[in-house]
Amino acid sequence: MENQEKDNFWLWIGALIVGTVVLVVLFKARENEVSGWQSGAAQEAAKEVDAQIAKQKTK
Residues with Cβ within 8 Å of residue 38, at least 6 apart in sequence:
32
Q: How many Å apart are CA 38 and CA 33, to the nearest integer?
A: 6
In the chain, % of residues over pLDDT 70: 78
Q: How many Å apart are CA 39 and CA 15, to the nearest integer?
A: 34
Q: How many Å apart are CA 56 and CA 50, to the nearest integer?
A: 10
Q: pLDDT band for 47, please (50, 70, 90 cuts).
A: confident
Res 40 pLDDT > 80? no
Query: pTM value?
Result: 0.53
Mean pLDDT, the chain, whole residue set:
83
Q: Please tell me the predicted confidence (pLDDT) of residue 1.
A: 56
In the chain, % of residues over pLDDT 90: 31
Q: How many Å apart are CA 37 and CA 29, to the nearest integer?
A: 10
